[in-house]
């Protein structure tokens, strides 16, 4: 079988027994099975004095890891700048806070080109390349410009926005053209896939075809591949020996019900709106006062990116106000933990909670929603309250209670319903959700993407001029 090469912004190792989530686990087995390689940033930031820090190679568990640091300048322009201050907000429908600077875009292109330059000499002719996420939209285009004709697939973990929102990113046309250099473009949902193809039809003169489009004389395959979890692994972890923290939390709760939310601290996750909904529940439902506690776990992420410090401050204020107003000596309504916990603690915590409250304003998928369901005891499962704007809602609408996170009153009413739901309904909903989680798990996500990539029709260098070079010259 041909070798698999994974390319992503960050490289994480998932060694046996080490508890990691998401991408690392998802691609680990496929990499191991093909004697594969993973290329990307090692998380370190080096001095600008050496603009080309060397790559380091290491082999673990039959996987070659090729990693390198980013210089300060690259970190600033490519990572903090264009990836996380321009693309991330715009792709999460926050064009209002997306900030564009030409020098950031230039740095983004340069790092994308640098990733391709590092990979090129290590490639074998039949290697298959799988690229991940919004940091590397232009990577494939640079590979083609370097004459690389291997099959290259790309998976976007975050939403692809509607064309009118995507157009607020100034180099939108070049980015979409660059994305069309990939042989297969995978999205979390059909809505994301359609948003991308709609844009291409309207602005790149693409024509739709079965399984994709024809753009500038080449076929680009597109598809929806909703990322899954390993439900049995989550269930096992959730049942494992109760950790000290979980036991302490349970004894502090006495007989109170527990609502839990777990996120990275990010404005896209709708945490402030969620706090407001919990406050509304206490205001309008006197029966819940003193009998339910809400635990929000949200460790800081990207603290040096625009907008992230503000969200932390807003949450601290909001949690303080709610506890100040409603708390009692023997009851803290809202526990907001701005720190991270191991998965071995999070999964039992989810299992111990009667409601999983997952209400992002916009999310590519949201794996916490799936993990919450898989962590539940089937004989007495909790209820998932899920935002209709999470990619996960497409698959989970039958079993979860869907909410609009902009409707604080509606979320409070749904929380009330979830807390009162009888066992028979909870069990029936849980069964429906588990069936779906098992039918489309993490292995299925990975295997279906890779099967389609291996079968993707034509591949090789696209025709036409290298648009990104033009932009870089114009800067």
From 66, 109, 148, 158, residue interacting with ligand ADQ (rule: CB under 6 A): 158
CB neighbour list of residue 339: distance below 8 Å, 6 or more residues apart: 297, 299
The residue (of 133 and 279) whose beta carbon lies closer to ligand ADQ is: 133
Q: Is 127 in the site for ligand ADQ (CB under 6 A)?
A: no
Task: From 109-117, 250-258, 261-269, 398-406, give the range in contact with ligand ADQ by CB under 6 A.
Answer: 261-269
Tell the smallest beta-carbon distance from residue 286 to ligand ADQ (Å).
31
- Kindly tell me which of 368 and 468 has the beta carbon lying closer to ligand ADQ: 368
Query: Does 378 participate in binding ligand ADQ (rule CB under 6 A)?
Result: no
- Centre a 10 Å sphere on the Cβ of residue 236 and count the other Cβ atoms it contains: 13
| Contact call for residue 22 and ligand ADQ (CB under 6 A) | yes
Of residues 224 and 472, the one with the C-beta less far from ligand ADQ: 224
Token pair for 53: 């820090």
Contact pattern for ligand ADQ over residues 262 through 291, marking x by CB under 6 A: xxx---------------------------
| Nearest CB to ligand ADQ, comparing residues 157 and 218 | 157
Query: What is the spatial distance between Cα 233 and Cα 238, in angstroms, rounded to a whole number?
Result: 9
297 binds ligand ADQ (CB under 6 A): yes
CA torsion angle 202 203 209 214 (round to 10): 160
Minimum CB distance to ligand ADQ, residue 287 (Å) = 30
Is residue 235 involved in binding ligand ADQ (CB under 6 A)?
A: no
Q: Tell me: does residue 456 bind ligand ADQ (CB under 6 A).
A: no
In the annotation, is 60 catalytic?
no
Is 220 a residue that touches ligand ADQ (CB under 6 A)? no
- Can residue 340 be called a binding residue for ligand ADQ (CB under 6 A)? yes
State yes or no: residue 228 binds ligand ADQ (CB under 6 A). Answer: no
Residue 363 interacts with ligand ADQ (CB under 6 A): yes or no: yes
Note the residues at the interface with ligand ADQ (CB under 6 A).
21-22, 157-158, 227, 262-264, 297-299, 340-341, 346, 363-368, 371
Active site residues: 157, 363
């Amino acid at each position: 079988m041909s070798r698999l090469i994974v390319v992503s912004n960050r490289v994480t190792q998932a060694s046996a027994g080490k508890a990691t989530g998401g991408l690392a686990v998802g691609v680990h087995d496929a990499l191991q099975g093909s004697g594969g390689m993973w290329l990307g940033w090692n998380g370190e930031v080096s001095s600008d004095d050496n603009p080309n820090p060397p790559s380091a190679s290491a082999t673990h568990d039959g996987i070659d890891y090729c990693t390198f640091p980013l210089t300060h300048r690259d970190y600033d322009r490519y990572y903090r700048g264009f990836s996380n201050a321009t693309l991330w907000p715009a792709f999460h429908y926050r064009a209002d806070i997306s900030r564009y600077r030409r020098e950031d875009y230039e740095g983004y292109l340069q790092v994308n080109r640098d990733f391709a330059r590092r990979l090129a000499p290590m490639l074998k002719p039949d290697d298959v390349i799988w690229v991940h996420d919004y940091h590397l939209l232009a990577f494939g285009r640079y590979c083609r410009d370097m004459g690389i004709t291997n099959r290259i697939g790309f998976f976007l973990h975050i939403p692809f926005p509607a064309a009118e929102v995507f157009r607020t990113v100034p180099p939108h046309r070049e980015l979409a053209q660059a994305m069309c250099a990939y042989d297969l473009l995978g999205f979390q949902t059909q809505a994301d896939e359609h948003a991308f193809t709609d844009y291409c039809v309207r602005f790149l003169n693409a024509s739709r075809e079965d399984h994709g489009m024809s753009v500038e004389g080449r076929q680009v395959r597109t598809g929806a591949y909703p990322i899954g979890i390993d439900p049995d692994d989550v269930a096992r972890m959730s049942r494992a020996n109760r950790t000290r923290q979980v036991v302490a939390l349970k004894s502090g709760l006495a007989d109170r019900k527990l609502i839990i939310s777990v996120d990275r601290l990010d404005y896209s996750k709708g945490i402030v709106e969620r706090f407001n909904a919990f406050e509304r529940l206490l205001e309008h439902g006197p029966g819940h006062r003193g009998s339910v506690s809400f635990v929000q776990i949200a460790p800081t992420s990207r603290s040096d990116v625009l907008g992230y410090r503000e969200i932390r401050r807003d949450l601290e204020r909001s949690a303080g106000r709610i506890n100040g107003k409603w708390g009692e000596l023997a009851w803290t309504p809202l526990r907001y933990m701005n720190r991270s916990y191991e998965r071995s603690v999070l999964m039992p915590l989810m299992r111990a909670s009667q409601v999983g409250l997952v209400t992002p304003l916009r999310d590519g998928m949201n794996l916490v929603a799936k993990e919450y369901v898989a962590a539940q005891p089937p004989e007495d499962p909790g209820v998932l309250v899920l935002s209709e704007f999470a990619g996960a809602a497409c698959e989970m609408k039958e079993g979860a209670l869907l909410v609009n996170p902009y409707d604080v009153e509606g979320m409070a009413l749904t929380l009330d319903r979830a807390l009162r739901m009888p066992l028979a309904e909870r069990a029936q909903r849980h069964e429906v959700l588990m069936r779906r989680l098992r039918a489309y798990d993490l292995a299925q996500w990975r295997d279906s993407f890779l099967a389609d990539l291996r079968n993707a029709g034509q591949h090789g260098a696209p025709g036409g001029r290298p648009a990104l070079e033009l932009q870089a010259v114009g800067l």
